Each structure stands twice: as C-alpha cells, then as structure tokens.
Amino acid sequence: MEETSRHQRFLERRRTRLERDGRRRLEAIALGVALGIAIWSGVQATTGLDNFGNYVDPIYFALFFATAFGLGWLLESFPVLASFAMCVSQLPAYVVYPNTHWELGNLFPIAAAMLFVLTLPAVLLAYAGTKLRARWPRAKPK
C-alpha cells in the first residue's frame, strides 16, 4: 500500500514539473521569436538591410550576438532554446517585412543557409552567458 502511494506522489510531482517546464519552454520560445522579429525589423528599418546575404552589417551582428548572450545571462530556464528561436524567427520576418511583393530573389537559399550557419555562434553565446551567470559571485544579503 505504501509503495503505491509513493509511486502516485512521484507521478504527481513529475507531472507538475513537466507542466511547469512546458510553460517555461513556451515562454522562452515566445520571447526568442519576439526578439528575433524585433531585431530584424529594427535593423532593417534603420540600416536598409534587405537581405542576409547582401553584405555583412556590423550593427546587425553586434545586436544579434549581444541579444543571444543576454538571453543566456538573463533567462533561468531554456536560454539556448530561446536563442535558437530568436535565430529561426528571423527567416519568416525576412520573408514578410522587406518583401512587400512576396518575391524572393535568387540569393534567398544562400541567405537562409547563412542565417542557419550563424545560428551556432548565437546558441553558443547563450550557453556561455548561462555558464558565466552561474559562476558570477552573488551578492550576500545584508
């Protein structure tokens, strides 16, 4: 009888943990998608960048990688997933925002491949931000 009760408590704790993690995972993805679209739209509006493959814009990459590191530093749960969502969400934002006629140029496949290659450093920066935050000395309460 005790064994069944212990097993039921274990299953209940596991279910609540999975529900909590599922919500946190969705929040991280939503934050990453919102940041990715905001970065792409903001940089495109201010600099006129209309394609990932046209030229290497230092403002775009500085903002992109700094945001990825910030996600790793600030998020407590799933920062790498949020960083990946930030990277992937920029491709649909690129298709919608500068292309008002819904025409993709010949360089679109190369630009998409370049974006996914640049996903790896952003995800690594989010992971580095997580590890640095864990090593950062915490202030002691007075």
Q: Where are the alpha helices (DSSP H) in 48-107?
A: 58-74, 79-88, 90-96
Q: Which pair of tokens denotes residue 54? A: 């046209």
Q: What is the pLDDT of residues 96-139, one digit of tens each?
A: 766 555 666 677 787 778 878 878 888 899 889 888 888 877 66
Whether 3 maps to a domain, the answer reads no
Domains: count for the chain = 1
Integer Cα distance of 61 and 51 in angstroms: 13
Identify the CA nearest to 67 among candidates 50, 92, 89: 89
Q: What is the pLDDT of residues 41-95, one digit of tens each?
A: 887 777 766 666 556 677 778 888 899 899 888 887 788 888 888 888 888 877 7
Whether 39 maps to a domain, the answer reads yes
Q: Which pair of tokens denotes residue 14? A: 């596991």
For residue 58, the enclosing domain spans 23-135
Integer Cα distance of 79 and 87 in angstroms: 12
